[in-house]
């Protein structure tokens, strides 16, 4: 697994985790890599410093701990939110415009739907939620 520094055409920097540089190239060419801030699928690699493997595994442990904390946080967010599935864009709009009670929701939206929500001023945050049956 490699971590690449990426940037969209709107100059939003972000990281991406890939099996290899070739895997990134394949996904980027298929418009499968999107900026988490704006959804732009035209992304490029930024220069990054080389990773030097040390004799100890000191760096790897905090990374594992951070991943564990992130997965626990995602699980808690999933438990404390209503899964509206494909109705996510509709429900987010209804809440934003005062047509539905404000609450924590999660669900699925296409890249196009996510862009439209953001353009309307509706704050959404794409997250890598696993399928419901995978949440422990």
Cβ–Cβ under 8 Å, residues 105 and 81:
yes
Return contacts of 91-94, CB within 8 angstroms, 24+ apart: 92/117, 92/122, 92/124, 93/117, 93/120, 93/122
Domains held by the chain: number: 2
**What's residue 119's pLDDT?**
94
Q: With 80 as the cut, is the pLDDT of residue 57 above it?
A: no
Residue 75 domain-assigned (yes or no)? yes
Residue 36 domain-assigned (yes or no)? yes
Asked if residue 14 and residue 64 are part of one domain, the reply reads no
Cβ–Cβ under 8 Å, residues 106 and 132:
no
Task: Give the span between the Cα atoms of 98 and 29, in whole angstroms.
Answer: 40
pLDDT tens, position by position, 5-19: 999 999 999 999 999
Q: With 70 as the cut, is the pLDDT of residue 56 above it?
A: no
Rounded to the nearest 10 degrees, the angle between the axes of helix 111-119 and helix 88-96 is: 10
Asked if residue 73 and residue 32 are part of one domain, the reply reads no
Q: With 80 as the cut, is the pLDDT of residue 52 above it?
A: no
Radius of gyration, CA atoms only, the chain: 18
Asked if residue 69 and residue 94 are part of one domain, the reply reads yes
Q: Structural domain of residue 34, as residue ranges?
A: 2-45
pLDDT band with cut points at 50, 70 and 90 for residue 103: very high
- How many CB atoms are located within 10 Å of the residue 24 CB? 20
**What's residue 46's pLDDT?**
92
Output 100 or 63, whichever has higher pLDDT: 100
Asked if residue 98 and residue 66 are part of one domain, the reply reads yes
Output 22 or 50, whichever has higher pLDDT: 22
**What's residue 118's pLDDT?**
93
Nearest to 14 by CA among 25, 24, 3: 3
Calculate what percentage of the chain has a pLDDT beyond 70: 84
Asked if residue 80 and residue 118 are part of one domain, the reply reads yes
Residue 52 domain-assigned (yes or no)? no
Q: With 90 as the cut, is the pLDDT of residue 61 above it?
A: no
């Amino acid at each position: 697994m490699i971590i690449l520094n990426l940037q969209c055409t709107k100059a939003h920097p972000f990281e991406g985790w890939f099996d290899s540089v070739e895997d990134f190239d394949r996904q980027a060419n298929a418009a499968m890599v999107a900026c988490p801030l704006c959804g732009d699928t035209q992304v490029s690699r930024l220069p990054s410093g080389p990773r030097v493997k040390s004799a100890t595994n000191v760096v790897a442990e905090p990374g594992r701990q951070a991943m564990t904390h992130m997965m626990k946080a995602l699980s808690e967010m999933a438990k404390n939110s209503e899964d509206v599935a494909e109705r996510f864009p509709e429900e987010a709009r209804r809440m934003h415009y005062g047509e539905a009670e404000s609450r924590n929701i999660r669900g699925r939206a296409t890249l196009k739907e996510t862009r439209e929500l953001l353009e309307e001023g509706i704050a959404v945050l794409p997250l890598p939620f696993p399928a419901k049956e995978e949440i422990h």
